Structure formats: C-alpha cells, structure tokens
Structure 1
C-alpha cells in the first residue's frame, strides 16, 4: 500500500436528517488515527476538514425530486471530488473521513478518473442504491452507490464531469441486511454481487473476503473501500445514524481488513457515518481507527 497518505475530513451531515455525523472526522482523529498510522511507518498529511457550506434550497425542488439538500450535497461532493483527484495526482493515498455516506459520491468522482476499471467494496448494512423515485426518505446518503453507477439526478451523477464512476460488475456489497424494494430490484437488474449477512453467516468471513478479493483482482485495476460503520453490529459500533441489528462483528471486520491488507488491492478508502452524539465513550470512532489500522497493515504479532 502507498506509504504516503492524505487524510481528508468531510463534516457532511446533509445527506440524512440526524445531526451529529458532521463531527465524525473529529471523533476519529481524537481516537488516535494519525499516531496509529505513523506508528505503522506511514507518512501522514492531514489536510483538515473541507468547508461544507449550506446552499439555499428550493422546497419545490425537494418535493419534485424527493431529494433533500440536493444543492448542498452536490456542491460539497464536487469540492471533495476535486480534492481527491488532486491527492491521487500527487501519488498519495486518499483516506476520507465522514460525514454521512453521501460523501462517497465525491470520493468516487475523484478516484474513478484515475482507473479504467475501478472496483468498489461497499461495506455497509445498506445498499445505498435508491434513487429519488425509489427512496422512502429522500435522504441522499441512501443513494450514493446508485449515483456512482450513473443512476439518479444529473446534479449528482455528473459530478466530476463524467458518468458513471463505476460499473455494476465491479461492485461488491458486503454486510447488507436492510434493503428497500427498489434496491433489491436494481441489484437483480444490474447483476451486482452482494454478500448479505446470510452469506456471511453461512460461508464465514474468510470465504466472503477470499471470493471478493479474487473476483475484483480479475477485473479491476484499483479498488476503493467504502466502509460505513453501520455495517458493524450496533453492539460494536453504536454511534451510527441508521443502526441495524444482526451486523458484522468487530472481529469479523478486523479479519476483513487484515485480508484486504494482505491482498494489497486497496488504492483508496473512506470510513463514514460515525456519529459521536449517538456514541458511547467514542466507541465507534475507536473501532474505526482500529479497522483503519488493520487495513493499513497492523497485525497482532
């Protein structure tokens, strides 16, 4: 893995309606991220947080599109995409800290232009494959993967000046256990590879990750990891906005990150949806730092 790492904080909480996730980047830093990575021999450049500005929204736009905070989310992701593009152009590894999962729109906009066939591991309890037509809530953090596939409002799909950012056959979703009807239909139509909690329980995380790594190695020239902390079970990561019981365990998640580190296929990453307002003693941010450390090569011995 690239030893030159740039940390980008994105204090975005407009892709959903529960306040507090904008403090996620600070909570993760407070949990000792920089010290852990420097201890592993990485050169860290923490560029701080992007300045997220509120854009005046039209209520009419929200009603007609079923998209909340569309202009604000689009502008923030455009800014993030430019920043990530600059980081990769400088031959550094972008490590993005959220913020809600709508920031994946910008991260992938900045990453994908550097690869012919970018792979994406979507580690999440949710598919984030809704559009304005299928979303029950209108929250854009539940649409970010669909947008990256080129499905959704042009203000989002065209960020970075191109669309799509990723092909459906290059996506693997891991940990899904809360999918809306429209998302299930889209997964079947697009042929997206998904390991639900049923497959994880039945096959075991070792098999799931081995299959994922082999699958993506065959068809991609880079792999982005988008890890939503609600992919973990709420007992291990309580500080998230949309917890879903019966998730991936802390230890299983460590194993997944360790296997990705050994495979050496991850070229960019983001860790999102840490909400310290809902957390217990910063437990979720501490878990995020531990998982990031495992991804970057930290081992027990």
Structure 2
C-alpha cells in the first residue's frame, strides 16, 4: 500500500473496517472459521513478533489454542482476507509463558514500532486499542453489570440496562512552539536525561484543539502562542489517545515552567534540530529527539524542512 499523506506511524490502516458487515454475527463467525483469516495475538497489549522484525500474524485456526474467554476482535478485511486480534494474556502470567511464545516474542509495542512494518503496526495498534478497552471497561458505567461485545469488538452493550458503550479516544493537542529560528522542547518528570519532545496536553470538555494548544503551552511553559496551525493527527494506542499535531508561533522565549508537568525546557535552534534529525556528528551532545514513530518527531521533521 502506498503511504498516504499522513506521515505518522499507527495511521494509514490498510484494512476495510466493514462497519455494516460486522453487525452480522454470522459474518464474524464465518470469518473466524475461514482458514485464510489471520490473527495477531497480544499479551497485555504487546504484539507477537517473529524473527525480531515480523508481526506474528497466525492463521485464525490458532484460536483453538486460547480459552474461549479470550477477547477476540475483528479488525477488517484486506484482499478478502479477514484480520483479527486476540488477547493472549489469559494463556500465561508472563509473556514468555503465553501461547505461541515458542515461535517469537511478545515485544513491547514501543520497541515493535521500530522494527515492524508501518502497515502491520497500524493493524496492531487497532487491535491493542480494542483489546485494552475491553480489558479496562468490561462493566457497564451506568449499572455496573458485565457487558457483552458486539460488532466484532467495536462496541459493547449491557444486557441489564441496554446501555451501549464504544471505545474511547482521548483527544490530545501536541504543539511545536516556534520563535524565529528555534523551537521549544521539554522533558517530563521521569523521562531519561536529555530526552526532549514537543509539549502536549489533553483537550478538556468544551474546548477546541487550538484552544487546548494555547492553554497547555501557557500553563506548562508560560509561553503565549499565536497562529496555531494544525498539521496532522496520530492514533496513539498508549492506551487510547488521538494526538492532534500543531505548529505555532510564540510571542517570546521567556519560560515559566510548571515543574509538576515539565522538568526542563529549552529553545533549540533549527540548525541544531536538523543535525539531530540527521544524526550528524556535529549535533549537540546530550540532546535526544523523539523516535520516528512519534508525532512529535514528525512535527520536528516538518518544521526543520
């Protein structure tokens, strides 16, 4: 598949989601029984990776190796082949003990993002999103009764009060603030020394993404923004955020940090950003930019060009 205009990992999912067809339970059942269908197992959200680089898609016949209670979700269709995700957590207390760990490893998703193909990663991210939602939202928020999955895992319904629930997406504004030839990067508490990224925050109720961008940068760094420009978005399955990326102009470079949110922040020249992105030997020491699979990195790439 040709990569679409969105440059972000976890985006550009190649599967047709078939929202009409998956409302038919017989369709899901038939596809699970189809020997051509594929299934990706995840242990606590981390995918099976084979050979250190390939997503561990198995024949749907592998469903027999998992307990009936294991959450199974329908992801979509590609070339008339169905794709499913399944929760391998019930098959072992550790990833090494889980089903099919003898043919690969359950690799932390952030590590897998650096080795698995981008197309497969978007499918894995979708599977993780649904499986983790089910794991953490099994009970009805209206009456407390256990819900039942429908639409192949794309929604759940309470058999007691009939309330319908859908996977949540937590909207986040992530902003690369710029002033002339420099951009603002910061490090959160507990991050590795020298690891800097664009600043971000959750969008609050009744707030537009642009308003959230201005508010977050002012609250966290004391910087006032103008001309907040949307760039692109990224589904971020850690566990369920929709990252909306912006580049914005700052009125000045004075900083007033909220140290509960930001441990350090600094303005980095565009020339240094270019060296860091290129891993040039002349790049500033002690500064690490985000990895390529993050939207923060893609914002830096756009601005540096």
Q: Which has the higher helix share?
A: 1
* TM-score, scaled to structure 2: 0.28
Q: Which has the higher strand share?
A: 2
* TM-score, scaled to structure 1: 0.28
| Relative contact order higher in (CA < 8 Å, ≥ 6 apart) | 1
Greater C-alpha Rg: 2
